[in-house]
Amino acid sequence: MTRARASARAAPAPSPVAAFAALADETRWTVLEALADDEAVGSGGLTASALAERLPVTRQAIAKHLALLEGAGLVESGMVGRERRFRALGAELTALGRRLERIGDAWEARLGRIATIAEDLERG
């Protein structure tokens, strides 16, 4: 999967809109979780057939879900022998999580300022 990794690293960060659209489907979320679990074990990726064995979905449906996840920049694929294996792209998922964290931090800061104003008004 070295060629796929090199091209994935050269590509710009995935669009958060595309990523969230891809993750809006329960099956794709489950597929991504399975790939992330596999990545933690370090087996080198899973095939669409292996994923279909774990889920109540056909191999063809899994292939379509994988294509959408790959298009969103959350998954990469590469040939290992005669098999196409897929793996989650942890760096992209981490970057997406950091973006969400920054948004959450900004909201917490705003809410903290509102709480301070409310306390000041209460004290009068």
Query: How sure is the predictor about 53, in pLDDT bands with cuts at 50, 70 and 90?
Result: very high
Say what percent of the chain tops pLDDT 70: 87
Task: Output the six-digit token pair for 45.
Answer: 């990726």
pLDDT in tens, 74-97: 999 999 999 999 999 888 888 888
What is the structure's pLDDT at 111? Answer: 92
Name residue 83's beta-bridge partners.
Answer: 80
Answering whether pTM is above 0.85, one says: no
CB 32 within 8 A of CB 88: yes
Strands 75-80, 83-88: pairing kind? antiparallel
User: Residue 38's pLDDT is what?
Assistant: 83
What percentage of the chain reaches a pLDDT higher than 90? 61
pLDDT of residue 4: 45
pLDDT at 1 over 70: no
Q: Which of 104, 98, 77, 88 is nearest to 30 (CA)?
A: 88
- Average model confidence (pLDDT) across the chain: 86
Res. 5: pLDDT tops 70: no
73 with 19: CB under 8 angstroms?
yes
Distance, CA of 38 to CA of 45 (rounded, Å): 7
How confident is the model over 11-27, as pLDDT tens digits?
556 688 899 899 999 99
Give the model's pLDDT for residue 40.
66
DSSP category for residue 77: E
Under 8 Å CB-to-CB from 79, ≥6 apart: which residues? 1, 85
